[in-house]
Amino acid sequence: MTVPTHMTFFSRFENDILSGKKTITIRDESEKNYQVGSRVTVATFEDGREFCQLDVLAVEPIHWDDLNVWHAEQENMTLSELKSVISEIYPNETQFYVVSYQLVSE
């Protein structure tokens, strides 16, 4: 297994990440191999523009039915917004991974 050193986000999340309002990301099975204690370079999904680095704090499995208001708050959105975004990105998926991270300050 190769430990990922890059992570992408849709550009609409950039400001929330840089301001510290977004402190987790919820990914599917294909992105569960982030390692606690590793540092990743973050880029926009749309054009690959790098904009920060994050330290991975935790990677925890979660089922769709267990997503709650706490997760939504860490994503800086409401629970209904969070579930809508996840189902848009990962249609028909029910098993996910919560990647908690901390912004690396310069």
What tens digit of pLDDT does each residue of 68-94 get?
A: 999 999 999 999 999 999 999 999 999
Q: Centre a 10 Å sphere on the Cβ of residue 52 and count the other Cβ atoms it contains.
A: 17
Q: Which amino acid, 16? A: D
- Residue 78 forms beta bridges with which residues? none
pLDDT of residue 106: 67
Contact 37, 56 (CB under 8 A): yes
Q: How confident is the model at residue 2 (pLDDT cuts 50, 70, 90)?
A: confident
Quick one: pLDDT at residue 105? 87
Encode pLDDT of 11-50 as tens digits: 999 999 999 999 999 999 999 999 999 999 999 999 999 9
Q: At residue 76, what is the residue type?
A: N
Q: What is the pLDDT of residue 65?
A: 97
Question: How many Cβ atoms sit within 10 Å of the Cβ of residue 71?
Answer: 19
Which residue bears the tokens 């590793």? 38
pTM, rounded to two decimals? 0.95
Determine the pLDDT at residue 64. Answer: 97
Residues designated catalytic = 22, 25, 75
Reply yes or no on whether the pLDDT at 58 is more than 80. yes
